Amino acid sequence: MTTTLERPTTLQCACPGCNCTVQPETPFRNGPLLFCSEACGKGHPNGEPCHAGCGCECHG
């Protein structure tokens, strides 16, 4: 008997303007949507970026 391991599916962050992928082991949820960071999940209330130096245009 052999066991086949499937590759994890990479998911795009649900935040508009974000190009980051959601890490399956540490997703940030807001309802049914998955985000790459807490800032994206909360809608960037203070205009903060999702990650330092990632280049995404999703913050305020």
Q: Classify residue 6: in a domain, yes or no.
A: no
Taking only the tens place, the pLDDT of each residue in 3-46 is: 655 555 678 999 999 999 998 887 899 999 999 999 999 999 99
pLDDT of residue 3: 61
Largest alpha-carbon pair distance within the chain? 54
Domain count, the chain: 1
Q: Classify residue 4: in a domain, yes or no.
A: no
Other C-beta atoms lying within 10 Å of the C-beta of residue 29: 11
Instruction: Enter the pTM of the model.
Output: 0.76
The token pair at 6 is 């499937």
DSSP-derived secondary structure for 14-59: SSTT--PEEPTTS-EEETTEEESSHHHHTT-TT---SSTT------
Q: Classify residue 16: in a domain, yes or no.
A: yes
Q: Classify residue 27: in a domain, yes or no.
A: yes
Q: Classify residue 23: in a domain, yes or no.
A: yes
